[in-house]
Amino acid sequence: MSGDENPAAVPKPVEDVQGDARWISQHTRFVQECKDAEPDVLFIGDSMIQLMQQYDIWRELFSPLHALNFGIGGDTTCNVLWRVQNGELENIRPKVVVLWVGTNNHEHTAEQVAGGVMAIAQFLATRLPKAKIIVLGLLPRGERPNPLREKNATVNSLLHSLLLQIPQAQFLDVSAELVHSDGTISIQHMFDFLHLTSSGYRVIAKPLNDLLLQILEETPEERRASLV
């Protein structure tokens, strides 16, 4: 099955409709960072990844792991796929890639979104055969139950099984922690019922950090000696 059949798996840059070329500026900066840095962990995705770097949690938990943050707000699977195919993996050999994308794929069905995430995961697995890949589940969104919650939950359920096909990938879903028994999401966790607050990030960072530490402890150092 070729990527052409799934629009969510077609690599696409973001067009500069607004007029200030911010998307390409961010992409260019990330490509440059690949030339200078030697990250052990690469975070890539949409605003859920990008905003994480602006809170204290990043400095506390993830910077110490030698992490780079290649998140761009608004990105769909198509955009992230284009970025990883166009320079954002050059010259780096991270031990782990954390991938979080899919909630902005408004034009696509849940099945297409899952296929788009899989296309990125498969590309990462091929380009970085020694890296582990952690795919984060899409979080619920909106104050109360709504169709996007159902869509994101369906994406997660599909990814949970599809990712078994990629031995170096793992799926991590922390959604349950964020929805109350009455179905509402707290503004203390998501300031606009989509993006996480500092407290919201603490909820998801704990299981993610635990998993990262576990993986990093398992990965031997001898790769570095073999680099030319």
Partner 1 sequence: MSAEDANPAATPTPCGDIQGDGRWMSMHERFVSDGKGKEPEVVFVGDSLIQLMHQFGIWRQLFSPLHSLNFGIGGDATQHVLWRLYNGELDNISPKVIVLWVGTNNHGHTSEEICGGIMAIVQVIKNKLPQAHTLVLGLLPRGKMPNPLRERNAMVNKLVQEALSSLPYASFLNVDPGFVLSDGSISHQDMYDYLHLTPKGYQAVCEPLHEHIKSLLEKPAEH
Instruction: List the structure tokens of 90.
Output: 């050059």
Instruction: List the structure tokens of 191.
Output: 């300031």
Q: Does 180 bind partner 1 (CB under 8 A)?
A: no
Q: Of residues 16, 56, 161, 192, which has the active-site annotation?
A: 192
Indicate which single residue of 7, 11, 26, 136 sits in contact with partner 1 (rule: CB under 8 A).
26
The reply to whether 16 belongs to the active site is: no
Please check whether residue 89 is in contact with residue 35, taking contact to mean a CB–CB distance below 8 angstroms: no
Closer residue to partner 1 in complex, CB, 174/194: 194
Does residue 223 sit in helix, strand or coil?
A: helix
Closer residue to partner 1 in complex, CB, 114/215: 114
Please check whether residue 94 is in contact with residue 134, taking contact to mean a CB–CB distance below 8 angstroms: no
Please tell me the distance from the alpha carbon of residue 114 to that of residue 38, in angstroms, as a whole number: 30
Please tell me the distance from the alpha carbon of residue 55 to that of residue 73, in angstroms, as a whole number: 15
Q: Of residues 40, 47, 75, 189, which has the active-site annotation?
A: 47
The reply to whether 195 belongs to the active site is: yes
Site for partner 1 in 104-163 (CB under 8 A): 106, 141-144, 146-149
Q: Per DSSP, what are the bridge partners of residue 70?
A: 44
Residue ranges binding partner 1 (CB under 8 A): 17-22, 25-26, 29, 50, 53-55, 72-73, 106, 141-144, 146-149, 187, 191-195, 197-198
Write out the catalytic residue numbers: 47, 192, 195
